[in-house]
């Protein structure tokens, strides 16, 4: 169901009368379920036709007894109950915003009709058209069908009863004349029109199954005189199914104010269904049938599924996505300064490295934080975070620490190395990224050589751009081609800073690839000497090799990694 056409009964109900009041000839298309309702409601043609700009759409929707019954596999003989018809009507109302005109068949007897009118008006329907035949009626279009007309006075009384139960001025009751269908001629139709108009009906529909519009045009002419005689202005309705060469413009000029295309969407769907089913049988596969079908995506779009996908993604961005900080390893370089504490517990300007990360994350409303400790785990302390222990930290890599927090990954997560300090805006920018997997990558190495001997996680971007200080902003897809610390720094375009975001889908892909690697590989793997110690970047490279798209968010500075004593001095100076 699409919410795009959402409206209220009281807003929609009066729209048909408004269109008529504006003097418009109302163009109406049939619908028989929610999907065809969306088609009728949203169909549009726009462009240049014979040097003039045109923009056309349908003004209203016809809920047809023929197509509602046929779509349920039933003949159009009032065998589909009103309750079932009302169900279809509600289905169409729920996904459309244009006025709905309901085919009320005979309306049943006057008592039945009162209930029909009150339910339709309450639902937001704009008009009901009832035909002056005896229940159970037969469809009007098949030649040779027995048609029994109602007593005009009994029918007029039904109209009066219907009018009396209305609660608003918005709803219209239109009488449909079946005299031409039953072979009773123009005079009978006109006499009945007069009776129904005097009973207070809001409009008249003249029906015909002739291939030629002559008889309805004659009726239209006489009807004009009749309205003049009665000093009334009540719209005339036609259903040009059989007399289909006459144009809307000609019908409008003849005095018709509502023109109903009464069954075309159902007939189109039925023809396509037959053709597609035969094509499948002939070819014993679906390839040949595909061009005859709408794409699945087109259907998704029509019924609002793509909107849902987008909203889910937005919600995901707003959500308090879990953060995993792998902090298990013992740091061989800074060991002499740490006095047996984990590196995350190192104080920088009076606050621990970890506490600084936590407050940066909290400022971006990220409060679901899990720290994975290992070395000196009993000394890992921080407020309002969960601390897990990777007891086997000596034998694995940081990747294993990340997977120690496996239960936090299911709905997407953020991964942050434990030894970097960040400016807040980097997290905010990352949270705004919509892609499934986004790593944060710094482009400083394009301007400044990496320091000799420093082990960095280098990236090669798929779309290499020439380094330049001044750059016109051109939209490139920031996609990774390579990642790893053994990449030649000369060929690298970026440095991975140790921060990444995984959507729910991205997390699924990450977890599945990890599982597969652990189960099915032995020995050397990507840059790792042994799969037992493969790293985060090895897994990302494996995903790239398997065809997953890994995006990156490009930044320029605004972060600091604490790898050496000089870094601590620098951080102390800044903070
Ligand atoms: C319908 O669409 O159900 C109608 C019009 O009543 S017709 O089928 O032409 O009778
Ligand atoms: Mg009908």
Mean pLDDT of 488-493: 90
Q: How sure is the predictor about 357, in pLDDT bands with cuts at 50, 70 and 90?
A: very high
Q: How sure is the predictor about 333, in pLDDT bands with cuts at 50, 70 and 90?
A: confident
Mean pLDDT of 164-174: 98
Percent of the chain whose pLDDT exceeds 90:
81
Residue 452 clears pLDDT 70, i.e. is over it: no
Residue 434 clears pLDDT 90, i.e. is over it: no
Residue 476 clears pLDDT 80, i.e. is over it: no
Torsion sign over Cα 423, 389, 539, 457 = positive
Mean pLDDT of 456-472: 70
The whole-chain average pLDDT of the chain stands at 93
| Residue 382 or residue 190, greater confidence | 190
Please choose from 28, 65, 77, 175 the residue to mutate so as to test ligand 1's pocket, defined by most ligand atoms within 8 A of CB: 65
Does residue 63 line the site of ligand 1, with CB under 6 A? no
CA-proximal residue: ligand 1, atom 7 (nearest): 140
**Could you give the angle at which helices 110-123 and 82-95 cross, rounded to 10 degrees?**
20
Question: Any catalytic annotation for residue 76?
Answer: yes
From the candidates 59, 68, 76, 132, give the one annotated as an active-site residue: 76
| Domains along the sequence of the chain with CATH | 9-262 (3.20.20.60), 273-310 (no CATH), 313-574 (3.90.550.10)
Of ligand 1's listed atoms, the one at least distance from the Cα of 62 is 2
CA separation for the pair 326, 356 (Å, rounded): 15
Q: How sure is the predictor about 437, in pLDDT bands with cuts at 50, 70 and 90?
A: very high
pLDDT of residue 473: 42
Does residue 562 line the site of ligand 1, with CB under 6 A? no
Q: What size, in residues, is the chain? A: 575
- Backbone φ and ψ of 127, nearest 5°: -160, 150
Mean pLDDT of 507-535: 95
pLDDT of residue 25: 98
Q: Is 139 helix (H, G, I), strand (E, B) or coil?
A: coil
Residue range 258-302, pLDDT digits in tens: 999 999 999 999 999 999 999 999 999 999 999 999 999 999 999
| Residue 106 or residue 329, greater confidence | 106
CA separation for the pair 533, 535 (Å, rounded): 6
- Among 168-182, 316-330, 357-371, which stretch is predicted with the lowest mean pLDDT? 316-330
Does residue 537 line the site of ligand 1, with CB under 6 A? no
Residue 327 clears pLDDT 50, i.e. is over it: yes
Residue 470 clears pLDDT 50, i.e. is over it: no
Does residue 77 line the site of ligand 1, with CB under 6 A? no
- Among 89-103, 200-214, 379-393, which stretch is predicted with the lowest mean pLDDT? 379-393
Burial 57-77 (b: 16+ CB within 10 A, else e): ebbbbbbbbbbbbbbeeeebe
Q: How far is the CA of 267 from the centre of ligand 2 (A)?
A: 15
| Residue 565 or residue 443, greater confidence | 443
pLDDT of residue 446: 83
Q: Taking phi first (over 0 means left), then psi (-120 to 50 degrees means alpha), and beta for anything else, what does residue 210 get?
A: beta
Mean pLDDT of 60-89: 98
pLDDT of residue 466: 53
pLDDT of residue 548: 95
pLDDT of residue 471: 46
pLDDT of residue 249: 97
Residue 475 clears pLDDT 80, i.e. is over it: no
Mean pLDDT of 408-428: 94
Residue range 342-356, pLDDT digits in tens: 999 998 888 999 999
Residue range 398-416, pLDDT digits in tens: 899 999 999 999 999 999 9
Question: Hey, how many other C-beta atoms are within 10 angstroms of the C-beta on 96?
Answer: 26
CA separation for the pair 164, 333 (Å, rounded): 91
Q: Are 63 and 100 in contact (CB under 8 A)?
A: yes
Mean pLDDT of 451-476: 66
Q: How sure is the predictor about 312, in pLDDT bands with cuts at 50, 70 and 90?
A: confident
Residue 18 clears pLDDT 70, i.e. is over it: yes
């Amino acid at each position: 169901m699409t919410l795009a056409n959402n409206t209220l009964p009281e807003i929609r109900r009066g729209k048909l009368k408004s269109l008529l009041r504006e003097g418009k000839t109302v163009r109406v298309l049939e619908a028989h379920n929610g999907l065809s309702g969306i088609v009728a409601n949203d169909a549009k043609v726009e462009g240049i036709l014979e040097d003039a700009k045109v923009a056309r759409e349908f003004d209203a929707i016809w809920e047809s007894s023929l197509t509602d019954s046929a779509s349920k596999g039933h003949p159009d003989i009032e065998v589909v109950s009103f309750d079932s018809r009302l169900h279809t009507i509600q289905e169409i109302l729920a996904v459309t915003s244009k006025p709905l005109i309901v085919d009320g068949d005979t309306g049943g007897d006057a008592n039945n009709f009162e209930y029909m009118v009150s339910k339709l008006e309450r639902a937001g329907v704009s008009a009901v058209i009832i035909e002056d035949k005896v229940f159970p009626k037969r469809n009007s279009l098949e030649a040779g069908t027995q048609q029994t007309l109602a007593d005009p006075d009994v029918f007029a009384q039904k109209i009066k009863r219907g009018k009396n139960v209305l609660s608003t001025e918005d709803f219209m009751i239109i009488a449909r004349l079946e005299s031409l269908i039953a072979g009773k001629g123009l005079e009978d139709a006109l006499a009945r029109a007069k009776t129904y108009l005097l009973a207070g009906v809001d409009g008249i529909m003249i029906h015909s199954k002739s291939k030629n519009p002559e008889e309805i045009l004659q009726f239209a002419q006489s009807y004009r005189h009749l309205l003049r005689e009665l000093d009334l202005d009540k719209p005339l309705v036609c259903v040009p199914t059989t007399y289909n060469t006459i144009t809307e413009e000609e019908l409008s000029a003849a005095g018709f104010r509502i023109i109903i295309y009464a069954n075309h969407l159902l007939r189109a769907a039925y023809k396509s269904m037959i053709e597609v089913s035969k094509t499948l049988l002939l070819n014993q596969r679906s390839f040949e049938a595909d061009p005859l079908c709408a794409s699945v995506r087109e259907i998704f779009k029509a019924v609002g599924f793509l909107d849902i996908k987008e909203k889910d993604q937005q919600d995901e961005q707003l959500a308090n996505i879990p953060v995993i900080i792998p902090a298990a390893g013992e740091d061989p370089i800074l060991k002499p300064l740490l006095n047996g504490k984990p590196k995350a517990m190192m104080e920088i300007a009076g606050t621990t490295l970890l506490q600084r990360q936590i407050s940066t994350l909290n400022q971006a409303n990220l409060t679901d934080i899990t720290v994975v400790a290992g070395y000196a785990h009993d000394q890992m302390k921080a407020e309002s975070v969960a601390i897990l222990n990777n007891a086997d930290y000596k034998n694995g890599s940081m990747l294993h620490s990340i997977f120690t927090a496996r239960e936090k990954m299911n709905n997407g997560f953020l991964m942050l190395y434990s030894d970097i300090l960040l400016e807040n805006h980097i997290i905010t920018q990352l949270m705004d990224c919509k892609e499934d997997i986004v790593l944060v990558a710094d482009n400083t190495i394009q301007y400044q050589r990496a320091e000799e001997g420093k082990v960095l996680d280098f990236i090669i971007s798929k779309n290499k751009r020439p380094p330049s200080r001044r750059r016109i902003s051109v939209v490139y897809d920031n996609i990774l081609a390579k990642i790893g610390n053994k990449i030649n720094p000369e060929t690298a375009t970026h440095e991975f800073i140790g921060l990444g975001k995984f959507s729910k889908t991205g997390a699924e892909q990450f977890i599945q690839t990890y599982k597969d690697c652990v189960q099915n590989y032995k020995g050397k793997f990507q840059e790792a000497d042994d799969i037992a110690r493969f790293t985060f970047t090895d897994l990302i490279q494996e995903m790239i090799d398997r065809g997953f798209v890994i995006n990156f968010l490009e930044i320029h500075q605004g972060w600091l990694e604490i790898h050496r004593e000089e870094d601590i001095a620098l951080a102390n100076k800044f903070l």
